[in-house]
Structure 1
Amino acid sequence: MGRQYRLYPTPGQEEVLAAWGHSTRALWNLALEQRRYVYKQRGVTLRAFEQGQYLTAARAEIGWLAELPATAGQQVLRHLDLAYDNFFNPSHPAGYPQFKKRGHRLKVSFPGQKVTMRKLSRHWAEVRLPKVGWVRFRLSRSLGGTLRNATISKNGTGWHVSFGVATGIKPVPRMDKPGCGVDFGVAASAFVSTEDRPRRMPETLTKPEKARLKHLEQKKARQIAYAKKYQGGHYSNRLRHTIEQIAKTKAHQANRRSDFTHKLTTDLAKNHGYVGIEDLRVMNMTRSSKGTAERPGKKVKAKATLNRGILDNCPGERHRQLEYKTRIYGSELRVVPAFHTSNTCGNPSCRMVDPESRPGCGRLFVCVHCGFEDDADHNAAVEIHARARRTGGSVTNSTRRRPLVSSPGKPRRRMREAQSVARSGNGNRSR
């Protein structure tokens, strides 16, 4: 399991960690470029073991690589291995590994044997990092297990340390409780079939915060236009400060969204024998809004608000959390097909499918066949519950991800994609 805490480095330690974060990003880009180049020229696939030997030789000649702890550089290569493994795994949704630009999140990883932790008081502790020493962090909860690895990262709110912990917790036996169906939406964040009122996510930004964010975005646009026109695209310190303020506001928004999501999924997993949800494809649901000013997509303005609402409620993250939380608490996740859940009558004696029962995709569902009336989201949750009950456990936690090809005899699409990317040599090489 993961444990994340707020880190409080000194100004000197913060400067070193920021430099290491950029070094790991540059090392990732170099290692990825080397793998693509070697495959393009010789058809050979490099792994972390071979690249580790090149890294050892490069540390003797390149100063910024020598300043980076050797174990942190080796972790970058292992993570690149994992990125390729996930890409070639047909049951994993990961795409082809990409280059990391300068604005990417700063992150440095260490193996557990190179990190030591000690408790100072009830709410404070320290972690010892190679070449940095002891760094204080807020002990918001106990570690609860054996330390396996540590990752130092920075977002808009500051520095954090994440520990990979072996807790030894085993899944509990299946609980004997009734199940439920949950409809994830936009107007109603979640409607549970066994409840008569929806669960709505509180506003992630207050009205003053929204006004301030809009002002900062406009200010950023003006500063970028000025930088392109008069400074050759070079970002000034004022522009970087504006970007940091925007990142801080959005980080607070993400934390509030994550808080609601964790509380929702934990409550569902702990209090129901099984949880039925729709098998949603979020990327397909929000795809039509993609576009640029030069080459706009289809109905971008009409779809933009809906897409923001879908992504703000993060149904994919709720699915991911329910997958492991249901196993921990003795429940079961049952994923059902999403087609016609909004148009099926929730009356057990009717169950007719008719789009006319929900005219204009409004909030009210009125069956045109039997006259049954209900909230549209609750009606969909009841239908999801009925489908999950009929599966009888045949739909399990592993149904979320599907292979990209249906026949094992056909060439793998991901292999062809990887080969085409490697041969093309295209991509951002920002270091």
Structure 2
Amino acid sequence: MKANMARRYRLYPTREQADRLTGWSDTCRAVWNTALAQRIWAYHSARRVTLRAVDQGPELTQARREYDWLADLPAQCAQQVLRRLDAAYDNFWNRDHPAGFPQFKKKRDWGSLCFPGQAIEVRQVSRRSAQVRLPKIGWVRFRVSRPIDGTVRNATVSRDGLGWHISFGVHQPELATPPVNTGPPIGIDVGIACSVFCSADDAARQRPATLSVGEHRRLRRLERRRARQLTYAKKYAGGKYSNRLRRTNAAIAAFKARQARRRLDWNHKLTTDLAQSHGLIGIEDLSVSSMIRSAKGTVTQPGSKVRQKAGLNRSIADQGWYEIRRQLGYKTKRYGGQLIVVPAPGSSQTCCRCGARDPESRRGCGRLFACTQCGHTEHADKNASINIRDRAIHTAGRAGTGTGGGAGSQSTRSPKGRGGRRASRMREPSSPGTAA
């Protein structure tokens, strides 16, 4: 019985509990880096030996007897680190998964702790408050913002700029007859000037700013202050962070976490509404990671338009295009719909009425599309969304799934061949490196 749903809540540990959780997260990071370094060494130096969690488990048990700081970590958490490393390798070798080679975790990364379901216990205290019992810590309070509704299979304790959180992996029984969504098909076009434009709408669904004017001004001041403090620390303190610099970093992290939370909230509301209202959703197959690659340059050899490209990269990353596609992938399955991923080239240059493709129909980055063949004029993003919808309907009809209902996500892009994985494997680190 595996978890098929997640529930995330705000956790309120005491000062002593928070300090211990922080120490445990550092220990988990050390276990991850050590296990990853050992696997890389075994593969490159020991005749391509592939290690798994079952091979490294006995060595972990022996290390817990020798080091007190490692023995203080619950054994279940250390074992979960090895299992997560196995999953990272499995995703890397999966041709259909976009994950790359597992990376070493740095100290500045927010840590997390994983507990199996049999190691924790949850009890309700009041209507909005509950407690979870963690090994070696005891009962910790968390806020019940929504019911758990299911059997808890695991729990992950994490921390960001706003505080501690706990995520429960919950199993909910599946329906005997899955739902069938008979809503009309729709195509969505994502962008920067217009966040999302749906083919069935007359206006764009624009995401509000994630930070207000005052918050943005405050964030800029904090970033300038951090730059001055970093310069002072490198010049006079040998790179050692002062308490003021740590407080500045914490304030910046709180702003970034609040910004990410607001972006995620809007994306969830958008994708839920689309998945519930439409049986077939078409979306472009965008390679976001390739689109946000920065133009490189140095002081001696400056690149071309590096600052302009950096600003475009930030705008693309702020929209969360891949997150919208990821959420639609599992929400369409939940509500009985279907997500079709179609090729992106030509969607904004093709007329949705006559089908003629001409770059002159849309000049520059304007919002107006004027077909040079039939004279049809339309909002450029709506024209693109209609083309995406038509391509999705054509793909669904060719696959024999129809235009309404059906679960799952289909893509017209062929999965990665072994050549792509072989090229990625050649970029693996040839030495364990330094484990932080």
User: Shorter-chain TM-score category?
Assistant: over 0.9
2:50 to 39, 45, 49: 45
Mapped partners of 1:83, 1:197: distance in 2: 41
Deviation for aligned residue 1:109: 0.6
Mapped partners of 1:108, 1:293: distance in 2: 42
2:368 to 364, 368, 373: 364
Tell me, yes or no, if the aligned pair for 1:92 and 1:401 is still in contact at 8 Å: no
User: Which residue type is aligned with residue 383 of structure 1?
Assistant: N
State the partner residue of 1:226: 232
Pairing 1:193-342 to 2, within 5 Å after superposition: 193-289=199-295, 297-342=303-348
Tell me, yes or no, if the aligned pair for 1:90 and 1:404 is still in contact at 8 Å: yes
Deviations 1:142-166 (A, max 9, x none): 1111100000000001000000000
Deviation for aligned residue 1:413: 4.4
Greater shift, 45-54 or 290-299, is seen at: 290-299
Deviation for aligned residue 1:17: 0.4
Q: How many residues align?
A: 422
Mapped partners of 1:382, 1:193: distance in 2: 5
State the partner residue of 1:414: 421
Tell me, yes or no, if the aligned pair for 1:102 and 1:430 is still in contact at 8 Å: no
Does residue 188 of structure 2 align to residue 182 of structure 1?
yes
State the partner residue of 2:27: 23
Mapped partners of 1:174, 1:291: distance in 2: 52
User: Which residue type is aligned with residue 34 of structure 2?
Assistant: L
Cα gap change, 1:413/1:176 in structure 2, threshold over 3 Å: closer, same or farther? closer
Mapped partners of 1:293, 1:262: distance in 2: 42
User: Which residue type is aligned with residue 89 of structure 2?
Assistant: Y
TM-score (norm 2): 0.93
Q: Which runs of 5+ in 1 are unaligned?
A: 406-410
Tell me, yes or no, if the aligned pair for 2:181 and 2:276 is still in contact at 8 Å: no
Does residue 390 of structure 2 align to residue 383 of structure 1?
no
| Structure 2 counterpart SS, 1:140 | coil
State the partner residue of 2:87: 82
Deviation for aligned residue 1:421: 2.6
Mapped partners of 1:263, 1:247: distance in 2: 24
Deviations 1:55-107 (A, max 9, x none): 10001111110110011000000001111111111111111111111001121
Tell me, yes or no, if the aligned pair for 2:281 and 2:340 is still in contact at 8 Å: yes
Mapped partners of 1:370, 1:420: distance in 2: 50
Deviation for aligned residue 1:372: 1.1
Tell me, yes or no, if the aligned pair for 1:288 and 1:299 is still in contact at 8 Å: no
Deviation for aligned residue 1:298: 4.3
Question: Over aligned residue pairs, what C-alpha RMSD do you find?
Answer: 1.8
User: Which residue type is aligned with residue 11 of structure 1?
Assistant: R
2:197 to 191, 203, 211: 191
Does residue 39 of structure 2 align to residue 64 of structure 1?
no
Does residue 106 of structure 2 align to residue 101 of structure 1?
yes
Q: Which runs of 5+ in 2 are unaligned?
A: 402-407
| Structure 1 counterpart SS, 2:17 | helix
Greater shift, 7-16 or 295-304, is seen at: 295-304
Does residue 66 of structure 2 align to residue 54 of structure 1?
no
User: Which residue type is aligned with residue 334 of structure 1?
Assistant: I
Tell me, yes or no, if the aligned pair for 1:289 and 1:307 is still in contact at 8 Å: no
State the partner residue of 2:10: 6
Mapped partners of 2:10, 2:75: distance in 1: 25
Cα gap change, 1:31/1:135 in structure 2, threshold over 3 Å: closer, same or farther? same
User: Which residue type is aligned with residue 50 of structure 1?
Assistant: D
Cα gap change, 1:292/1:244 in structure 2, threshold over 3 Å: closer, same or farther? farther
State the partner residue of 2:415: 403
Deviation for aligned residue 1:231: 1.3
Identity %: 52
Pairing 1:128-167 to 2, within 5 Å after superposition: 128-167=133-172
